[in-house]
Amino acid sequence: MRQRALGDVRVGAIGLGAMPLSIEGHPDEARALATVHAALDAGVTLLDTADSYHPPGGEPGANELLVARALAAYGGRGRTEDVLVATKGGRGRTADGGWTVDGRPEHLRRAAEASARRLGVDAIGLYQLHKPDPAVPYAESLGAIRELLDAGTIRLAGISNVDTDRIRLAREILGERLVSVQNRYSPADRGSEPELRLCAELGLAFLPWSPLGGIARSSLDGASTLAADPEFGAFHRVARTHGVSPQRVALAWLLTRSATVLPIPGVSRPESIRDSAEAGAGALRLTEMEIAELNGT
């Protein structure tokens, strides 16, 4: 798989969003582990998780523990030293399936330390502030991330679900140790174009979450489905031309948006991540005309 930069680390151009492996409708343990192992086999070296990825009423960190088990079980099959595990803190779940936000510095410090224990690491490779908390000044939340960097609890920092002003503020507070922004971005949702452009300008990795919107549903929107949205028929037309899945076309298109883009499709089957990884391998070459068509949909 082709490589892209994430701070001072190089990772595969396609990552794995591990969220669907632990939330509502998640697969059984065997299939979940097989999905992570298929990703590693295919050259994926960026695994994205969060302490809040667990079913309603479940224990925080279920997804982090799953990722840790998958990496431990993979040891006999290949190297895991080059795998970067990115996790997030600052969100939670309610008993009825809702989502909460907690950006208090004391919470973030405790959350990061707990995530490190669950992942079994001395320092988290990439720790991302999951979402701004409207009840806490963003600079205060970022200050906690800076303290975690200074303490060596985390190696690199990222932010998620942010606008351009917050990206600039985070860069001011965290400096070069801010390496990534994770926002929703897909064929169906291109509202983060300004943030994508700013990341390219600053050299920050841009990690689109739910990158297959319009082609498949996000886990946050309900059960996954491969049903096509007629509005995004161009992706299906291009897919038929190349004899590949529209999902692979969508990921290949995302990689053309900027050299800083690192899509993290959320998958729950080995077959899905193998197909996604093919987009990062570069075998599918979109023509300029196809890219223009996809840009215009």
Where in the sequence numbering do the catalytic residues fall? 53
Q: Residue 171's closest CA among 193, 207, 195?
A: 195
Measured over all CA atoms, what is the biggest interatomic distance in the chain, rounded to whole angstroms? 53
The H-or-E segment that residue 68 falls in is helix 62-74
What span, in angstroms and rounded, lies between the C-alpha atoms of 283 and 236? 18
Quote the crossing angle between the two packed helices 138-151 and 164-174, to the nearest 10°.
40
The residue with tokens 């140790």 is 177
User: What's the start-to-end Cα distance of the chain, in Å?
Assistant: 28
Strand 3-6 to 9-12 pairing:
antiparallel
The rounded distance, in Å, linking the Cα atoms of 282 and 4 is: 12
Sequence-distant (≥ 6) Cβ neighbours of residue 59 within 8 angstroms: none
Q: How many CB atoms lie within 10 A of CB 145?
A: 29
- The single residue listed with the structure tokens 């193998």 is 274
CA 82, chain centre distance (Å): 17
Q: Say which DSSP state 228 is in.
A: P
**Nearest-angstrom CA–CA distance, 114 and 163:** 28
